Amino acid sequence: MTSENRGCVDPARTVEDLEHLRRRLAENDPLLKSRSNHYSLLGGVTRLKIIALLECAGELCVCDLATILEMTPAAVSQHLGRLRSAGIVAPRRDKMTIFYRRTDGELLPALCFPALER
C-alpha cells in the first residue's frame, strides 16, 4: 500500500501500521467468521425472545415456550436446537419433557482481539 492509495493522511498511523492491521485481520478471519455466525444467530427476533424468556423464567419446557410464543413445539425446537449448538442454552430432560435454560456462555462475544488493539 502506498501513501497515494491511502486516500487520507493520518499522522497517528503509518503505512506499516495499516499493513500490520491488514495482516492481523486476515490471520483472524476464521474467528471473525465464527463471530459473524454467532451474531446472525442472535439476529432472529424469535431466538431473542426465547433467550429473554429463559433469562426471566430461568427454565422453561418446549411446550411452555411454544404456548407463550404462539408457535408450534416443532418450530420452537428448531430455534432451541440452533441456540443449543451455539452453547447459549442447555437442555434438561425430566421423563418425557425437555426443559431449557440459559447457559453461562457468552451471549455477545467481543469482536476485537488483542492483535488489533493499540
Question: Considering the domain boundaries, does residue 116 fall inside one?
Answer: no
Place of cell 404456548: 67
Instruction: Name the domain boundary from 24, 43, 62.
Output: 43
- Is the pTM higher than 0.85? The answer reads no
Structural domain contains residue 113:
no
Q: Is 15 in contact with 6 (CB distance < 8 Å)?
A: yes
- Asked if 83 and 41 touch (Cβ cutoff 8 Å), the reply is yes
Domain extent for 88: 45-105
In the chain, the number of structural domains is 2
Question: pLDDT digits over 31-72, tens only?
Answer: 888 778 878 878 889 998 999 899 889 899 999 999 999 999
* Residues 53, 81 within the same domain: yes
Q: What is the DSSP string of 11-80?
A: TTS-HHHHHHHHHHHHHTHHHHHHHHHHHHHTT-HHHHHHHHHHHHHSEEEHHHHHHHHTS-HHHHHHHH
Query: What's the CATH code of the domain at 94?
Result: 1.10.10.10
51 and 85 part of one domain: yes
Per-residue pLDDT of 75-118, as tens digits, reads 999 999 999 988 889 999 999 999 999 987 666 655 555 555 54
* Beta pairing partners, 90: 101
